[in-house]
């Protein structure tokens, strides 16, 4: 990832940039390491009460190589939605009947947290072409 996305403020359709971490060649087009790609946020949900954590769904679209674009898609073996799970304390706090000031402290823990996706976050993309002519990928069993 090049850009940083926060589930608290990100919206569906927002653009993001990513870059390749390895060189490759796709249908005769040389793609150097560090090539910039573009995608859109497909899904987003901000954190809310009752321990609902934030989530972001990424949809990589294409790489820019000089004046050419190479269409890509997220690797179908990876989930496109990024989120983090609840801790055991967060799960348990939702079921503890506590009143008054102590409950306010529990609610601080019980409230969900947003996810931040940015530099250092990695995911895989696969090149696709005209889907009338080629399959986007072929995963073969060992």
How far apart (Å, rounded) are the C-alpha atoms in residues 62 and 41?
14
How far apart (Å, rounded) are the C-alpha atoms in residues 131 and 73?
12
Is 44 within the bounds of a domain?
yes
Please give the structure tokens belonging to residue 45. Answer: 């949900």
Range of the domain at 60: 5-85+114-127
- Count of the separate structural domains present in the chain: 1
Is 137 within the bounds of a domain?
no
- pLDDT tens per residue, range 25-63: 888 889 999 999 999 999 888 887 666 778 888 899 999
Is 20 within the bounds of a domain?
yes
Is 139 within the bounds of a domain?
no
Mean pLDDT confidence for 113-136: 78
Is 81 within the bounds of a domain?
yes
For the cut 60, the answer to whether the pLDDT of residue 141 exceeds it is: no
């Amino acid at each position: 990832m090049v850009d940083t996305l926060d589930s608290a403020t990100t919206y569906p359709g927002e653009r993001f940039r990513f870059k390749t971490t390895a060189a490759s060649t796709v249908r005769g087009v040389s793609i150097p390491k560090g090539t910039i790609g573009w995608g859109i946020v497909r899904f987003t949900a901000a954190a809310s009460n009752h321990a609902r954590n934030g989530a972001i769904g990424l949809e990589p679209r294409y790489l820019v190589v000089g004046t050419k674009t190479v269409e890509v898609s997220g690797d179908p073996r990876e989930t496109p939605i990024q989120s983090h799970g609840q801790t055991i304390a967060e799960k348990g706090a939702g079921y503890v009947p506590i009143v008054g000031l102590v409950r306010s402290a529990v609610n601080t823990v019980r409230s969900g947290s947003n996810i931040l996706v940015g530099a250092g976050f990695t995911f895989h993309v696969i090149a696709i072409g005209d889907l009338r002519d080629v399959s986007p990928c072929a995963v073969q069993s060992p």
